A and B are shown apart, each in its own frame.
Chain A
Amino acid sequence: MSLANATRSELTKQFSTSMWWILALVLVVYVGSTAGGLAGFFGALATGAIPAGDANAPAIPEEVLPPLIYSLATAVGYIFPLLIGTLLVTGEFRHKTLTPTFLATPRRGVALTGKLLAGILMGAVYGAVAVVATVGPGAGILAALGIGTQLDDSDTWAMIGRIVIAFVLWVLVGVGVGTLVRNQVAAVVGVIAFTQFLEPILRTVAGFVDSVADAARFLPGAASDALVGASIYSSLNSATGDTVAPLEWWAGGLVLLAYGTVLLLLGYLFSWRRDVS
């Protein structure tokens, strides 16, 4: 009962400030424009509207194009659920609202579980928003170029389901990061630095060095891509002759879940139970 109350309270927190719709709006614009742009570019390349000789990019076969475009929701959009999860916790530290939160829900474990459940719901909602933002313009442009959208294919819908699952898992990782780091600025800067610079660099290096590639499959972003099953990174890598196969989709999901679980456990043990003053 008190867990349901705590979850409801967390959801009220989420929807009573402007953060949720600002992030949703940026998410839609970001993944939507990326999906639309790349659908147009690769679609034109695949159909020959742009002669292959004019573009310094590998032509991607028509049949792998739709999943690649749709999966941009996570491939470039996963920073959003990660940030939402992080802010879900660091906001409490930043605005010193842990005091009223813990007064209303004195059992710290219940309070954190409430955040997790609320986070799962937020992840699903943002996942759905991201899917609409990528599949909408992506499928529209592909269709306009005469490429099959594959929306009648159950595999496509299974992938869309995995995208939503990936969003949920990323929120959990974010909650773990936020619980452990506490400082909002540090957490947000860290999350952006890792996802936008560190991991892309590591994965790029992994594309050239096989010994690194093996370990790089277990990076959170790579695991997320493996879970979804298609990604602009893996497609480009395989086009350039990547030899290391990504993780199975379920293994990728488990790796991502493991990141979230370990971070949450550490955060709970070393930060969440500390004195609030």
Chain B
Amino acid sequence: MPEGHVLEFTGVTKRFGPVTAVDGFSARVEPGVVTGFLGPNGAGKTTSLRILLGLIAATEGTATIGGKRYAQLAHPLQTVGAALEASSFHPGRSAANHLTVYAHAAGIPAARVDDALGAVGLADVAGRKVGGFSLGMRQRLGLAYTLLGDPGVLVLDEPSNGLDPEGIKWMRGFLRELANQGRTVLVSSHLLAEIQQTAQSLLIIARGRLVFQGSLGELTAQDEYATVVDAPDRAALVTALTDAGLPFEQLRTGLAVRGAETTAVGAIAAAAGIALSTLQRRGPALEEVFLDLVNGVRVHESALAPPSGGPVAAPEAAEAEAGVAEEAAAVEPEEPAAESADEAGTTDAPDTDTDPDADEAGAPEAEESTEDAAEFGPPAPTWDADHPTTDADVEADRFFSQYDAPAGDAAPPADAETEPDAEPDTDADAEGGEQR
């Protein structure tokens, strides 16, 4: 079985004239898991990948595969399989010949061509010209190209584009299988929903900078979740929870409990002999968290302390602030700098929402959030756009939206009071209000 390699970006910067496409990007991709490389269109994903693959020369910094630059690899296609776009084909060449061309170039036995086509389900059309292929078939052929050399590293740029639902499902399973074999799998996408079910690890890039690096679970903090619980005998449930010392909020559809595991809440009800009608874990939709990270509304510590070192943190945070606060330009330069230093210091908080400066920017968003049914999706891990939104959901959404308001409005006083078990967090006054 081919060996996976660590992919490492170190301070990669790429400037196209006055445009900085990638800006001091540092990240590490481990073998054995599917790593999602997320970012909106134009964030620098493709440029970063092309730099990794030696197709674009970085202005500064290096990107390596197992410690080597791509051009230094002795057997590139046998080490890295990459599919960057679905249009890299001569339309008049058959699928099998397309692969044969590159098998020859890399010194790969021609027998691998049939294997690769078979692996992606194109064996039947091997002799057909690529010009007649659908986008989905081209994507599969692109994937077959990556598999030619049976490489330990796979780099795929938006591989699900143009695939039908069945194809997407197949792709997910396929990538997971490759990662389970110990290979390094890096998959870019501009949709979190698409990658959420496949990727165990995430890199998020926005405006050429890393804004998050970690597992899917680390994307949201534990205390952003709550358990929604309800019983036909709600009064008994209220009593049981109060007795257990758990704070909760009353909703029309049930009780929202924070600061306790779902199982613990269930256990409390069971101990009190209460039959439950609802027991659900709820949190902010990852899509929202993703958008907040991308827009700079939310800043994650993993981006503040990149592997290359700390000094990047302060300017990064300052940048995020500038992106949020409309009036940032009007403020003297000292102020945001000082605040960003504060923020950089609070790296012990898992999730540092933006500072009070964001008040004005946040206000309109808070309004929207009541209408935005997607604000809180159904319980993780599946994010399903087609999930029918019920009244209960809307109500729950409205309830949770006040906690997630990216504005980080001055801590809702009611909230602070209903939360006696404030953590021994010294920054609680500054940060706590936004998080709980």
Contacts and interface: CB of A to CB of B under 8 A. Distances in A.
Interface of A: 1-2, 5-6, 8-9, 12-13, 16-19, 91, 95-97, 99-107, 114, 275-277
B104 A5 contact: yes
B106 interface: yes
A5 B55 CA distance: 20
A103 B46 contact: no
A5 B107 contact: yes
A95 B106 contact: no
Which of A8, A96, A275 gathers the greatest number of chain B CB atoms within 10 Å?
Answer: A275
Interface centre among A1, A102, A103 (most CB of B within 10 A): A103
B56 A275 contact: yes
Given A97-B90, A102-B55, A276-B50, A6 B105 contact: yes
A105 B105 contact: yes
B90 A17 contact: yes
Given A101-B105, A106-B76, A114-B105, 11 more contacts: A5-B104, A12-B97, A13-B90, A13-B93, A16-B94, A19-B92, A97-B88, A100-B145, A104-B106, A275-B56, A277-B55
| Secondary structure of the B contact surface, majority rule | mixed
A5 B93 CA distance: 19
Contacts of A91: 90
Interface in B41-89: 46-47, 50, 53-57, 70-71, 73, 76-77, 80, 82, 84-85, 87-89
Contact of B93 (A1, A8, A17, A275): A17
A12 B106 CA distance: 13
Contacts of B56: 275-277
A103 B87 contact: no
- Size category of the binding interface on chain B: 35 or more
Contacts of B88: 95-97, 99-100
B55 A16 contact: no
B133 interface: no
Contacts of B102: 9, 100-101, 103-104
B91 interface: yes
A170 to B, nearest CB: 23
A51 to B, nearest CB: 52
Contacts of B53: 103
Interface of B: 46-47, 50, 53-57, 70-71, 73, 76-77, 80, 82, 84-85, 87-94, 97-98, 100-102, 104-107, 145
A107 B105 CA distance: 12
Contact of A95 (B76, B77, B84, B89): B89
A114 B73 CA distance: 19
A16 B97 contact: yes
7 contacts: A12-B100, A95-B91, A96-B87, A100-B102, A101-B105, A103-B76, A104-B106
A9 B104 contact: yes
Contacts of A96: 85, 87-88
Nearest to A9: B105
8 smallest CB-CB distances across A and B, nearest first, come from: A9-B105, A16-B97, A104-B105, A275-B56, A9-B104, A276-B55, A17-B92, A106-B71
Nearest to B80: A103
A9 B47 contact: no
Best-buried of B54, B90, B93 by chain A (most CB within 10 Å): B90
B422 to A, nearest CB: 51
B72 to A, nearest CB: 8
Contacts of B50: 275-277
Contacts of B47: 277
Contacts of A103: 53, 55, 76-77, 80, 82, 102
A132 B89 CA distance: 34
A9 B46 contact: no
B54 A106 contact: yes
B331 to A, nearest CB: 38
